Amino acid sequence: MSWAMLTVRIHKEFAGSGDTPFVLAVTASFAPGFTILFGPSGAGKSALLDCIAGLQRPDTGEIRFGKEAFFDASRRVNVSPQRRGLAYVFQSLALFPHLSVVENIRYGLVKLGVAEQRKRIERVATAFHIANLLDRRPAELSGGEKQRVALARALATGPRILLLDEPLTGLDASLRRSILEDLRLWHVAEPIPILYVTHNREEVDAIGERVLTLANGRVLESGSPRAVLDAPRSLPLAQAAGFENVLPARVVEHRAEDGVMRIALENATRNIEIPLGAAEPGSKVRVAIRAGDILLATEAPHFLSARNLLPGTIESIERRGALVQVRVKAGANFLVHVTPGAARSLELATGQLVWLVIKTHSCHLVY
Amino acid sequence: MNGEAFLLSLRLAAMVSLLLLAFALPLAYVLAFFRWPGKFLVESVVALPLVLPPTVLGFYALVAMGPRGPLGKFWQALFGHSLAFTFAGLVIASLVYSLPFAVQPLVASFEAMDRRLLDASAVLGAGRARTFFRVILPLAWPGVLTSLVLSFAHTLGVFGVVLMVGGNLPGITRTVSIDIYDHVQALDYASANRTSLFLMLVCFVILSIVYAVNRRVWSPWPVE
């Protein structure tokens, strides 16, 4: 069997609840392997998967898998979901509540002989560790077990493409890792295109070979997770990628010879230096900075390579699990994450004067 | 109490509710899962018997079934006798009379269904028919039961329509509600009370079962 490429070039208007319709306009191709679809909710990720699965019909464009056309508006081709040979795990999982686990899996195998059915069920049951759950009803399963069953039901059909819409939301990290590991092992044997929708940064890092970011129904960027998510170039993406600080600013001057530009944060007393971007001097931009990328100092530090030093006062200190979130007013409001140990040894307190230390390359220009 | 009248009503209700289910299932499916222009007109027609006085329904049923009405002529040609004042005529009129009670619970339970289950069924390769029989129908069974029972109970109490198209022929068209009416006319309040009380009890038990099932008191699979 040869592994084909999935290519999508579609345009679809959805009559939304608001006055402006939501437009999904995506051009992308998906090679065998994991592609993460990342973006804020309402970006059109599920709508894209629905179009690929044949559950929604695009207005124009085409969807091809290798030489085969799933959808081609100009030639009036629209293959039904039943005949696209793909599998789709929905966010809600959509296990049939009235059928047992084994009946759920067998549901997609009815066209096969009994011996082949048994073989496939055994294979997915072993691969996803659900052999002891086969006679249970979905209501008798835990969250993680349901997710395993949904993956098993999807993969038992021997799909040529796998669509996963946030299949592991709501699971704790270790359970997520173990299910991902099972999925990865399966994928080694069956290298098909897998489109994986998630908001979870940890899942992205664990499985992502490539990331495609979507916002407002359009592809923003694609590339490796590090390139795309660590340097987001749009506001919705920066927010979705977990950048705690997205601050409005104005470009002051370019210093092309140093590869940087100086910008003035709104309300800040000092300008800061960020990597040179395409914004002209005088234009309004936003700067995204992770709370964990900012250092706190209780005295003005010297002899540092970091170019950006901002004096400010602590507005609040809040313990959040394994980290402490400090809100600092340095003209603009900054969120800074430090460890509980650091907070203790620095004796941080509300109202205290501190210095924010930010490396130039921790600042990302977003539009 | 007039056992013959009661048995006749039971027979009528059973027949009507079963026939209606066969007719209402595809109708409700189309109403719940498809959109087409003019759908609201069909919905209105289905709901019409809810608001019309039974005598209006009965009147038009009588006209249609009469020797010069379309239904009557058709029936005459087919079976050689007239349709009005027969049990078959009563069944046909009651079908219209109880239609909304059969259709609306089905539409409600179909519409409440998680559409993603239907999507999952399609992606797993099942066509419309298999999705209907393997997913929709088993999951909508409280709606099916409600439809069956409500149309049964409603037909059991049919009065105005019967009065118009059935007349009062013992064993053929004299249903239990006509029987009660006759007792009252004859000032035999004791008999009227016995029959009425019995009918009320039967309907109460039936409805209790429907409501209990819809609350999933006795569910065949665990509720999530």
Of residues A363 and A239, the one with the higher pLDDT is A363
Distance CA A254, CA A244 (A): 26
Look at residue B219 and tell me if it is in a domain. no
Asked if B111 and B197 touch (Cβ cutoff 8 Å), the reply is: no
Look at residue B223 and tell me if it is in a domain. no
Give residue A12's identity as a one-letter amino acid code: K
Report the C-alpha dihedral over residues A173, A177, A180, A185, rounded to 10 degrees. Answer: -170
Look at residue B67 and tell me if it is in a domain. yes
DSSP structure class, residue B135: I
**What are the chain A neighbours of B126 within 8 Å (beta carbons)?**
82, 107, 110
**What are the chain B neighbours of A164 within 8 Å (beta carbons)?**
none
Does A15 contact chain B (CB < 8 Å)? no
- DSSP assignment string, A248-267: EEEEEEEEGGGTEEEEEETT
Look at residue B220 and tell me if it is in a domain. no
Res B217 pLDDT > 60: no
Measured CA distances, B69 to A74, A343, B75 (Å): 53, 92, 10
Does A67 contact chain B (CB < 8 Å)? no
> Token match 């907070």: residue?
A343
Res A366 pLDDT > 70: yes
Task: Enter the ipTM.
Answer: 0.80
Size of interface A-B (CB pairs under 8 A): 68
Chain-chain contact of B123 with A82 (C-beta, under 8 angstroms): yes
Identity of the highest mean pLDDT range in A106-110, A170-174, A238-242, B86-90: A106-110
**What are the chain B neighbours of A80 within 8 Å (beta carbons)?**
122
Scan residues 80-99 of A and list those with Cβ closer than 8 Å to B: 80-82, 84, 86-88, 90, 92, 94-98
Distance CA A345, CA A32 (A): 50
Q: How far is B101 from chain A (nearest CA, A)?
A: 26
Structure tokens at A170: 């709501």
- What's the confidence (pLDDT) of residue A156? 94
Q: How confident is the model at residue B224 (pLDDT cuts 50, 70, 90)?
A: very low
Chain-chain contact of A97 with B220 (C-beta, under 8 angstroms): no
Distance CA A359, CA A366 (A): 17
Report the candidate in B115, B99, B120, B124 with the shortest Cα–Cα distance to residue B44: B99
Structure tokens at B120: 């999952």
- What's the confidence (pLDDT) of residue A240? 66
Structure tokens at B90: 């009563």
* pLDDT tens track for A56-108: 999 999 999 999 999 999 999 999 999 999 999 999 999 999 999 999 999 99
* pLDDT tens track for B27-60: 999 999 998 888 999 999 999 998 988 888 888 8
Look at residue B222 and tell me if it is in a domain. no
Q: Burial code of A28-67, b = ≥16 C-beta within 10 A, e = fewer?
A: bebebebbbbbbbeebbbbbbbbbbbbbbebeebbbbbee
Distance CA B136, CA B150 (A): 20
Nearest neighbour of B116 by CB, restricted to A94, A107, A138: A94
* pLDDT tens track for B147-175: 999 899 889 888 888 888 877 777 777 88
Look at residue B51 and tell me if it is in a domain. yes
- What's the confidence (pLDDT) of residue B223? 47
Nearest neighbour of A94 by CB, restricted to B119, B126, B134: B119
Asked if A46 and A88 touch (Cβ cutoff 8 Å), the reply is: no
Look at residue B162 and tell me if it is in a domain. yes
Ramachandran sector of residue A95 (left: φ over 0; alpha: ψ -120 to 50; beta: rest): beta
Show the 3-state SS of A10-75.
Answer: EEEEECCCCCCCEEEEEEEEECCEEEEEECCCCCCHHHHHHHHHCCCCCCEEEEEECCEEEEECCC
Whether this model's pTM surpasses 0.80: no
Does A142 contact chain B (CB < 8 Å)? no
List the beta bridge partners of residue A271. A264
Element (H, E) at B26: helix B3-33
**What are the chain B neighbours of A140 within 8 Å (beta carbons)?**
222
List the beta bridge partners of residue A357. A295, A309
Q: How far is B156 from chain A (nearest CA, A)?
A: 33
**What are the chain B neighbours of A94 within 8 Å (beta carbons)?**
114, 116-117, 119-120
Look at residue B59 and tell me if it is in a domain. yes
Asked if A213 and A38 touch (Cβ cutoff 8 Å), the reply is: yes
Distance CA B187, CA A62 (A): 79
Q: Total domain count for chain B?
A: 1
* pLDDT tens track for A7-42: 999 999 987 666 678 899 999 999 998 999 988 777
* pLDDT tens track for B11-26: 999 999 999 999 999 9
Q: How far is B123 from chain A (nearest CA, A)?
A: 5
Q: How far is B35 from chain A (nearest CA, A)?
A: 15
> Token match 């929708």: residue?
A197
Nearest neighbour of B223 by CB, restricted to A87, A110, A139: A139
* pLDDT tens track for A268-296: 778 888 888 778 888 888 888 888 889 99
Q: Give the CATH number for residue B164.
A: 1.10.3720.10
**What are the chain A neighbours of B133 within 8 Å (beta carbons)?**
none
- What's the confidence (pLDDT) of residue B220? 53
* pLDDT tens track for B125-153: 999 999 999 999 999 988 899 899 989 98
- What's the confidence (pLDDT) of residue A360? 87
Q: Are strands A193-197 and A33-38 parallel, antiparallel or unpaired?
A: parallel
Distance CA B56, CA B113 (A): 36
Find the mean pLDDT for residues A322-335: 87
Asked if A176 and A202 touch (Cβ cutoff 8 Å), the reply is: yes
Share of chain A above pLDDT 70, in %: 94
Q: What residues have CB less than 8 Å from A225, skipping those under 6 apart?
A: A36, A204, A205, A208, A210, A211
Chain-chain contact of A90 with B116 (C-beta, under 8 angstroms): yes
Q: Is A4 helix (H, G, I), strand (E, B) or coil?
A: coil
Res A308 pLDDT > 50: yes
Asked if B12 and B91 touch (Cβ cutoff 8 Å), the reply is: yes
Q: Which domain holds residue B48?
A: 3-214
Q: How confident is the model at residue B216 (pLDDT cuts 50, 70, 90)?
A: low
Find the mean pLDDT for residues A196-210: 79
How many contiguous H segments (helices) and E segments (strands) does chain B have?
Answer: 12, 0
Chain-chain contact of B119 with A108 (C-beta, under 8 angstroms): no
- What's the confidence (pLDDT) of residue B29? 94
Asked if A153 and B124 touch (Cβ cutoff 8 Å), the reply is: yes
Average pLDDT, chain B: 86
Res A321 pLDDT > 80: no
Average pLDDT, chain A: 87
> Token match 């170039």: residue?
A233
> Could you count the other beta carbons within 10 Å of the beta carbon of residue A181?
12
- What's the confidence (pLDDT) of residue A1? 47
Does A53 contact chain B (CB < 8 Å)? yes
Share of chain B above pLDDT 70, in %: 96
Give residue A209's identity as a one-letter amino acid code: E
Q: B3-33 and B176-185 are packed helices; what angle lies between their axes, rounded to 10 degrees?
A: 130
